Structures are given as structure tokens and as C-alpha cells.
């Protein structure tokens, strides 16, 4: 049995949009604004499981908390500069568990607002 590699880039943005119940155009907009992980300063074609956690966090900040792109960039900069990889992953796991508590109805209500 092989172990999962959460850093391997395997998911296209269309699959992530289905996982997050988000519109692909919305995720592409975040991507174009530089809010998603990049490879060599280029937009990635595939994302890893660890990237999905960060993408979900960005989507939460933008869609639920209504923070603009500059605010999200600032938050991500603080996280990246002040946390090592282990703490960053633990933080994103905590955020992921909190996102599970946000009901689908709440998200749909916000999207129709």
C-alpha cells in the first residue's frame, strides 16, 4: 500500500471548484490575483491536497468574510513569514475543521445575497 503524498500536484482547478462548491470562474479570479500557490511565479495547472487547504482558506476569507484580495494577500504574507511549514499545516487543518461547520445553506445564502 502506497502512502499518500499531500504535496503531489494532481488536482485541476475544476475538481477543486467541485470540492469547495464554488464557481470555477471565482477560483480563476483568485488565481489571477495571485492568491493561490504558484510554481516559479507561474500559475499552476494542478494543485496538491495541501494547496487545496490553502485555496479553501482563501475562498473562505473572500466569500464568507468578504475580505478583498489585498487583505487576503496580507493575511497570507503574515502566515508565510511567521509560521514554519508544520505550524502552517496545523493552522490550515484547524481552519479546515472550522470550515466543515459552515453549512452549505449558509454558503448558498451568501452567494444569493
Contact assessment for residue 12 and residue 45, using Cβ atoms and an 8 Å cutoff: yes
From the CA atom positions of the chain, what is the Rg in Å?
14
Question: What per-residue confidence (pLDDT) applies to 110?
Answer: 52
Residue ranges of the chain with pLDDT lower than 50?
A: 1, 113
pLDDT at 6: 84
pTM over 0.75: yes
Query: Residue 108: what pLDDT?
Result: 55
SS (H, E, C) 7-57: CCCCECHHHHHHHHCCCHHHHHHHHHCCCCCEECCEECCCECHHHHHHHHH
- Would you list the domain boundaries of the chain? 13-108
Amino acid at each position: 500500500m502506497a502512502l499518500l503524498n499531500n504535496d503531489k500536484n494532481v488536482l485541476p482547478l475544476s475538481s477543486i471548484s467541485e470540492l469547495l462548491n464554488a464557481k470555477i470562474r471565482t477560483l480563476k479570479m483568485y488565481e489571477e490575483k495571485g492568491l493561490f500557490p504558484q510554481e516559479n511565479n507561474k500559475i499552476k495547472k494542478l494543485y496538491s491536497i495541501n494547496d487545496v487547504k490553502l485555496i479553501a482558506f482563501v475562498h473562505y476569507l473572500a466569500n464568507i468574510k468578504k475580505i478583498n484580495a489585498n487583505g487576503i494577500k496580507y493575511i497570507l504574507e503574515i502566515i508565510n513569514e511567521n509560521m514554519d511549514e508544520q505550524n502552517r499545516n496545523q493552522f490550515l487543518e484547524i481552519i479546515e475543521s472550522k470550515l466543515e461547520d459552515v453549512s452549505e445553506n449558509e454558503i448558498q445564502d451568501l452567494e444569493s445575497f
